[in-house]
Structure 1
Amino acid sequence: MTATLIPSPTARAAHRDPNVLRWLTAYTSSMLGDNVYYLALSWAAVQAGTPAQAGLVMSASALPRAVLMLGGGVIADRFGPHRVVIASDALRCAAVLAVAALLFLARTGLWPLALLALVFGAVDAVFVPAVGALPARLTANDQLGRVQGMRSLAIRFAAVVGAPLGGLGVALGGAPAAFALAGLLIAVSVPLLVSVRVRDLPTEDDAAKGTAWADLKAGLRHIRGHRVLAPLMLAIALGDLGFVGPLNVGLTLLADQRGWGASGMGWTLAGFGTGAGAASLLLAVRGRLPRAGLVAGCTVVVGSVAIGALAYAPTLATAVGTALLVGLLTGLSGVLCGALLQTLTDPAYLGRVTALSSLVSLGLTPLSMPFAAAAIGAWGLRPVYVVSAAVCGLGGVAALVVPALRRAELPR
């Protein structure tokens, strides 16, 4: 498929640009489909097998996503993120609708669910880097910070709305209806993406000239040799590593030990989501924040203190307020780090750079969750929260002690 190219960025702000808004609508619909899909998959797996088997099905997508992610970045840079995103969404839509039809026609057990999870994980490995590389081809460099905020808002919206939509689909027609709804939501994104106009980039011809392995090594050299990207990757990795355990496994155990129950955990998660959404909205509205590197480092450090304090919250109201602060600070650092990645990376390497950062966040960091659960069982909640907060804080320290990263700015 040949993309329509626009010769130069428009002067229009991203949130007023119809082209960017078409992309954002497509992305939001795709993310809604993702959330409905995961709910449908978990429901269907629990209904078709034992809890252990359901857990294996739910985790089946993690392995191909982690193994193939770096290769997905090479594909995004070699063939262009616009084509890759369209093809990925079309393939995901076809896979989900095929399983919906299969479940509607017959009781098939767990095998189609496991196969779907594997396919989804493999396609995600290509889709995620392409999504990260696409905004640079839609708008001017000084609008990429705003686009990052808008994209984060879309993710938050999809997470809040997708679960109830999936539940409604299950209630009306079981897992087949929920899968069909997920497929249709993903399908909505395809024509919108086709209508999106993209532009040539100055280094487009240098994106991929050798073998896939040579392209991958070139991308890693680009990161390693960059004064800002290399320490920024380290900061992102440490921040995510210290954040995931306490805010996933740890929060469930905290709510259980304090007697807050599922509703208490829901309120705490809502506090976190509200804070993170407010941070995304701030960048979407303002477009940039001055001294982005310094602000990102400081918010990670202060946010890590709030993460540690969460384990000491004496009441549910205190926990919700602390989670709100965690969401605001870590959400702001997250969107700023994402915006710096977008604006400082040579556009020819954006797919590969996004792939590496996504591999840390989506592929490797979740592996810390079983270790966090085991550590909580052995030593208790508070020590594990404190250690996790310290690891997260090291990400902020890494950002603050490297002068080039500390002084990094978003373009005006």
Structure 2
Amino acid sequence: MNESLSKEMSVTQEKPSPTPLLKNRSFLMLIISIIFSSLATSTYLMIETWYVSKHLQMPSMIGYVLMATAIPRLLLMSVGGVVADRFRRSLIMFYSDFFRFVLLLAMTFLFLSDQLTFTILIIFALLFGVLESFYWPAASSIIPTIVPDSQLGAANSYNFTIQQVGVLVGPVIAGMSLTWGSYDWSFGLISVMLLLGSVFLLGVRDQPQQSEPDEVSEEKQSMLAEIKEGFLYIKEDRFKFSILLTNAISVFFLVGPLSIAIPTFVTETLNGTAMDFTYLEISLTAGSLIGAIVIGMINITKQRAMWSYIFMLFFCFSMMGLGFAKELIPAIIALLFTGIFSSFANTTMVTALQSIIDMDKMGRVMSLFTMASTGLVPISQGFIPMILNKGVSLSHLLIAGSSITCVFLISVLLLVKTIRSQ
């Protein structure tokens, strides 16, 4: 009984106090760190592609550099999830940011010595991708360890908003640094942002995932066994499996087509200009930011899963609206609501999933969620041009993809009772 009581007291002590989010020191330090890391990542990708295209005069090779970053991130994400479940997540994020800082510092010196060739850039891209494969599982699973369940929705909203701002502002920083500076100045700026991101992580007080000595088995110590355990943990629970499958379906049929839809709509439907493209991109980004802010203010704490599916249905309807649009203004409105409801759906779905995952498996589950989000987008983007080249119009493609997703969402809501109750 004394042992049981001591365990209960230990669990109680590990729970974060229900203070306001921005007065929670660990959460505040984490958010500041993510600001720098998010800006650094999007700025790096922009400068990397510009360096290949303009400085090396090899625009046709940009895809290989992007693949070199994406492939290790995709292949090692499950390993990153296991590592996130074994060690302090803030420490994993710290090492990822710090070693990426070292990489960018090395790139700066290689550029100054005129040795930053395409081959070396590919090697750096691979290493960058490897480090990111450990960063994102830790980053996507750390929030439940430093905020209480009642604040998960608001905390994820802050996180999602920052990442959206990073995607938007990063290319602007890249453009300004290249306009007013040079590549060495740009690489140096990114390295400073990563260093600052790592420094602020030192102020995050999350708890390492520790097992009792007598509970650790040989199988548990195997990396492969823990990955398998994570898959079984999801497979045997209809709720978790449904959420992850829904994420994969929505990424493939909605998010992937959306990234191709805007430039295709401008060129083929509108026969428009670069300014039309800018208006549409701004509309989608503004909608995403509005959605992330509003859902954080609402902070849904009950039936999160059901609400995420409802928001996902409205996401589908907005995409259908874009499919039916033939002029600029209707397309801008459709994309505004697409951004809003995608933020609503993403934030509530992540929160619903995090709220029911055992803490010692949080990294593995969230790594699979992130892997679907990042891995299926390029696959979907690869299929879409093939379908369009077969004579299928963009309008029909968007409507079909949205309809398939709608049918799937409604089926899950009807068949999986726990989705409606949790």
The TM-score normalised by the length of structure 2 is 0.90
Q: Is 1:18 aligned to residue 25 of structure 2?
A: yes
Q: Is 1:328 aligned to residue 340 of structure 2?
A: yes
| Letter of the 1:65 counterpart | R
Partners of 1:211 and 1:227 in 2: CA distance: 26
1:231 matched residue in structure 2? 242
Q: Which moved more, 1:287-296 or 1:336-345?
A: 287-296
Q: CA deviation at 1:82?
A: 1.8
Matches within 5 A, 1:2-151: 7-47=14-54, 48-151=56-159
1:382 matched residue in structure 2? 395
Regions of 4+ moved over 6 Å: 201-208
Q: Out of 186, 189, 196, which is 2:204 matched to?
A: 196
Q: Out of 223, 244, 256, which is 1:212 matched to?
A: 223
Distance change in 2, residues 1:84/1:65 (3 Å): same
Partners of 1:204 and 1:308 in 2: CA distance: 52
1:400 matched residue in structure 2? 413
Q: Is the 8 A contact 1:231 1:405 kept in 2?
A: no
1:316 matched residue in structure 2? 328
Q: Is 1:178 aligned to residue 186 of structure 2?
A: yes
The TM-score normalised by the length of structure 1 is 0.92
Q: Is the 8 A contact 1:296 1:396 kept in 2?
A: no
Partners of 1:325 and 1:383 in 2: CA distance: 20
Distance change in 2, residues 1:204/1:222 (3 Å): farther
| Letter of the 1:391 counterpart | I
2:9 matched residue in structure 1? none
| Letter of the 2:104 counterpart | V
Q: Give the aligned length.
A: 405
Q: Is the 8 A contact 1:268 1:319 kept in 2?
A: yes
Q: Which moved more, 1:172-181 or 1:97-106?
A: 172-181
The runs of 5 or more residues in structure 1 that have no matched partner are: none
Q: CA deviation at 1:395?
A: 4.7
For the aligned residue pairs, the C-alpha RMSD in angstroms reads 2.1
Q: Is the 8 A contact 1:250 1:381 kept in 2?
A: yes
Partners of 2:375 and 2:138 in 1: CA distance: 16
Distance change in 2, residues 1:30/1:100 (3 Å): same
1:300 matched residue in structure 2? 312
Which deviations, in whole Å up to 9, do the C-alpha atoms of 1:352-378 show, x marking residues without a partner?
001111111101332110210121122
Q: CA deviation at 1:245?
A: 3.0
Distance change in 2, residues 1:261/1:399 (3 Å): farther
Matches within 5 A, 1:256-275: 256-257=267-268, 258-275=270-287
Which deviations, in whole Å up to 9, do the C-alpha atoms of 1:312-366 show, x marking residues without a partner?
2122111111001111112211111111121111111111001111111101332
Q: CA deviation at 1:133?
A: 1.6
Q: Which moved more, 1:310-319 or 1:10-19?
A: 10-19
Q: Is the 8 A contact 1:242 1:390 kept in 2?
A: no
Give 3-state SS (helix, strand or coil) of 1:199's partner: coil
Q: Is the 8 A contact 2:87 2:208 kept in 1?
A: no
Q: Is the 8 A contact 2:287 2:338 kept in 1?
A: yes
Distance change in 2, residues 1:39/1:408 (3 Å): farther
Partners of 1:217 and 1:108 in 2: CA distance: 40
Structure label with greater radius of gyration: 2
Q: Is the 8 A contact 2:69 2:125 kept in 1?
A: yes
Q: Which moved more, 1:342-351 or 1:199-208?
A: 199-208
Partners of 2:378 and 2:330 in 1: CA distance: 27
Q: Is 1:222 aligned to residue 233 of structure 2?
A: yes
Partners of 1:65 and 1:88 in 2: CA distance: 12
Which deviations, in whole Å up to 9, do the C-alpha atoms of 1:39-60 show, x marking residues without a partner?
1101111121422212211222
Q: Out of 237, 246, 249, which is 2:260 matched to?
A: 249
Partners of 1:199 and 1:10 in 2: CA distance: 14
